[in-house]
């Protein structure tokens, strides 16, 4: 098996790394503390100019058409510097992929160039609700047909980038009499549509520069042309796109975990105790060896999932395995990196405190670790049933 990257993939990885090191890393702590939205949006605009908002979108729609492996590599490099920027980039790419996957030609030509080219600052993925998180089929937001329109009513929670996103992909119940999960449809809704209210940003533990908001729809009238795909068939779209999103979040987690361990490794060489560098102590060496081995395994799982997706083969279980392993091991890497730093790791002057806060949610959003285990187990049992 050839595990080497193509020239284009290496170029995108290198471009992401250089941008992250020069533009994102110097301001990541500032963004975390002050949530400077103008600076955050400026960095997003620069990433857009470089093509990072349409990595797996066809060139005819304004994308780079570089594939899922390149997307994973880019998100990892961006996350090493700023997890907040990485999650907004990942979600905007996911919104674009939803449109490319199920939108009609008019929708693709209308909206994708705006997402990929920067006319839209970001895209929002409106799926989660108060009683529909791990169980999205339980959503209660409705879209009632009214002539040539639909009327949206309901609320969506924890929507990344909602306060400045210009376009939402929204899931809503269109047939309340259908069995659970069967009467759900998918819509494209511009953020300036009357009837949409975005609540204030949530006060989060980490990834603070990327706003997370509740989005309310109150008698929000949208045209029938906003429907993506077939009416009442939108739930399968959500499930499919969440699988792709898990590659993005797994890659993000990997980047944070790598950044944490890289910083701690350097610290081991520089700090001395008992008259010798910390790097000389075998117990600390073993922690280093174990965490880097796990992060490398996570990278390989992510590459396998991305490669399978690019081949057009079923990749849901591979994505869940990669997301589960990468997020859990990245959390462990950040925790151990902080431990390797000792008291310094607990001080805000050093980035370990931020990495540890930023990484925590990666085992929650885009499907909790527990949900990933359910998905994996179901697929394994289906293979032998």
CB 78 within 8 A of CB 85: yes
Last residue in a domain, options 105, 121, 137: 121
Residue 313 and residue 347 share a domain: yes
Residue 378 and residue 255 share a domain: yes
Report if residue 244 sits inside a domain: yes
Residue 322 and residue 272 share a domain: yes
pLDDT digits (tens, 9 = 90+) for 322-349: 999 999 999 999 999 999 999 999 999 9
Percent share of the chain, pLDDT over 90:
93
Q: How many CB atoms lie within 10 A of CB 43?
A: 24
CB 129 within 8 A of CB 139: yes
pLDDT digits (tens, 9 = 90+) for 28-67: 999 999 989 999 999 999 999 999 999 999 999 999 999 9
The CATH number that applies at residue 113 is 1.10.540.10
CB 115 within 8 A of CB 167: yes
Residue 160 and residue 84 share a domain: no
The CATH number that applies at residue 194 is 2.40.110.10
Q: How many CB atoms lie within 10 A of CB 346?
A: 13
- With CA atoms as reference, report the closest residue to 168 among 92, 85, 239: 92
Longest dimension (CA), the chain: 80
Report if residue 159 sits inside a domain: yes
80: which residues sit within 8 A by CB, 6+ positions away? 17, 20, 25, 255, 256, 258, 259, 262
Report if residue 313 sits inside a domain: yes
Residues catalogued as catalytic: 366
pLDDT digits (tens, 9 = 90+) for 230-258: 999 998 888 888 899 999 999 999 999 99
Last residue in a domain, options 101, 121, 141: 121
Which structural domain range is residue 271 located in? 236-384
Report if residue 2 sits inside a domain: no
pLDDT above 90: residue 163: yes
Report if residue 339 sits inside a domain: yes
Residue 299 and residue 199 share a domain: no
Residue 128 and residue 112 share a domain: no
What mean pLDDT, rounded, does the chain reach? 96
The Cα 172–Cα 128 span in angstroms is: 11
Residue 104 and residue 197 share a domain: no
Residue 259 and residue 349 share a domain: yes
Report if residue 1 sits inside a domain: no
Report if residue 319 sits inside a domain: yes
Last residue in a domain, options 76, 91, 121: 121
Number of domains in the chain: 3
336: which residues sit within 8 A by CB, 6+ positions away? 261, 264, 287, 291
58: which residues sit within 8 A by CB, 6+ positions away? 65, 100
**What is the radius of gyration, based on Cα positions, of the chain?**
21
The Cα 134–Cα 138 span in angstroms is: 9
User: Phi first, then psi: what are they for 339, rounded to 5°?
Assistant: -65, -40
Residue 84 and residue 156 share a domain: no
Residue 243 and residue 227 share a domain: no
Report if residue 260 sits inside a domain: yes
Q: CA 37 → CA 26, 42, 62, 197, 212, distances in Å?
A: 16, 8, 26, 19, 13
Cut 0.85: pTM above it: yes
pLDDT digits (tens, 9 = 90+) for 261-319: 999 999 999 998 899 998 899 999 999 999 999 999 999 999 999 999 999 999 999 99
Confidence band, pLDDT 50/70/90 cuts, at residue 1 = low
The CATH number that applies at residue 300 is 1.20.140.10
Residue 323 and residue 246 share a domain: yes
The residue whose two tokens read 């102590």 is 281
Residue 128 and residue 103 share a domain: no
């Amino acid at each position: 098996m050839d595990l080497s990257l193509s020239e284009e993939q290496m170029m995108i990885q290198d471009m992401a790394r250089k941008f992250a090191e020069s533009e994102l890393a110097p301001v990541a702590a500032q963004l975390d503390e002050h949530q400077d939205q103008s600076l955050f949006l400026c960095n997003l605009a620069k990433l857009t100019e470089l093509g990072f908002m349409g990595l797996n979108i066809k060139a005819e729609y304004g994308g780079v058409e570089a594939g899922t492996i390149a997307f994973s590599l880019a998100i990892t490099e961006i996350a090493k510097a700023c997890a907040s920027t990485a999650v907004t980039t990942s979600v905007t790419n996911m919104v674009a992929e939803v449109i490319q996957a199920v939108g009609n030609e008019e929708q693709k030509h209308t909206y994708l160039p705006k997402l990929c080219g920067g006319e839209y600052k970001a895209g929002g993925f409106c799926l989660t609700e108060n009683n529909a998180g791990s169980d999205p089929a339980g959503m209660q937001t409705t879209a009632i047909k009214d002539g040539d329109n639909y009327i949206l009513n309901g609320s969506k929670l924890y929507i990344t980038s909602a306060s400045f996103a210009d376009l939402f992909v929204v899931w809503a119940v269109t047939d309340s009499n259908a069995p659970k999960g069967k009467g759900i449809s998918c819509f494209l809704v511009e953020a300036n549509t009357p009837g949409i209210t975005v609540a204030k940003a949530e006060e989060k533990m980490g990834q603070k520069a990327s706003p997370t908001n509740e989005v309310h729809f109150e008698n929000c009238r949208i045209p029938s042309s906003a429907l993506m795909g077939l009416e009442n068939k939108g739930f399968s779209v959500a499930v499919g796109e969440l699988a792709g999103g898990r590659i993005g979040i797994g890659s993000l987690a990997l980047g944070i975990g790598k950044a944490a361990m890289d910083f701690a490794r350097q610290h081991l060489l520089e700090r001395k105790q008992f008259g010798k560098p910390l790097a000389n102590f075998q117990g600390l060496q073993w922690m280093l060896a174990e965490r880097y081995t796990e992060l490398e395994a996570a990278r390989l799982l992510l590459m396998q999932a991305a490669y399978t997706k690019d081949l057009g083969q079923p990749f849901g279980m591979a994505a869940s395995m990669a997301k589960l392993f990468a997020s859990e091991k990245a959390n462990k890497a950040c925790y151990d990196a902080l431990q390797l730093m000792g008291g310094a790791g607990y001080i805000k002057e050093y980035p370990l405190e931020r990495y540890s806060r930023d990484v925590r949610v990666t085992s929650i959003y885009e499907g909790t670790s527990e949900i990933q285990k359910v998905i994996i187990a179901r697929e394994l049992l289906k293979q032998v049933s």
